[in-house]
């Protein structure tokens, strides 16, 4: 019997390595992640206001999802 793991929450807060150059790969993961992902925390990272806006826009497409910036 195989056990399927699910990623429900991803906390990357206070990570100085998360910058606007990280947006492309993170958005790709975000858009293709399983529906089990319910929480993404990117607070206190080094994202610009434009970068945060990009994530907020993408988050509106997911149901039952919490994005913290």
pLDDT, residue 6, reads 79
Q: Is 47 exposed, middle or buried (0-12, 13-18, 19+ CB in 10 A)?
A: buried
Which pLDDT score, from 0 to 100, does residue 67 have?
A: 93
Q: Cα–Cα distance between 44 and 55 in angstroms, integer?
A: 14
Report the pLDDT value the prediction gives residue 2, as an integer from 0 to 100: 65
pTM, two decimal places: 0.81
- Per-residue pLDDT for the chain (69 aa), expressed as one digit of tens each? 666 667 889 999 999 999 999 988 888 887 776 667 889 999 999 999 999 999 899 888 888 889 999
Sign of the torsion formed by the C-alpha atoms of 28, 31, 36 and 41:
positive
Cα maximum dimension of the chain: 46
């Amino acid at each position: 019997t195989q056990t399927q793991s699910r990623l429900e929450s991803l906390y990357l807060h206070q990570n100085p390595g998360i910058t606007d150059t990280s947006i492309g790969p993170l958005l790709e993961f975000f858009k293709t992640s399983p529906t089990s992902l319910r929480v993404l925390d990117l607070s206190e990272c080094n994202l610009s206001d434009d970068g945060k806006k990009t994530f907020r826009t993408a988050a509106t497409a997911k149901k039952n999802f919490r994005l913290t910036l």
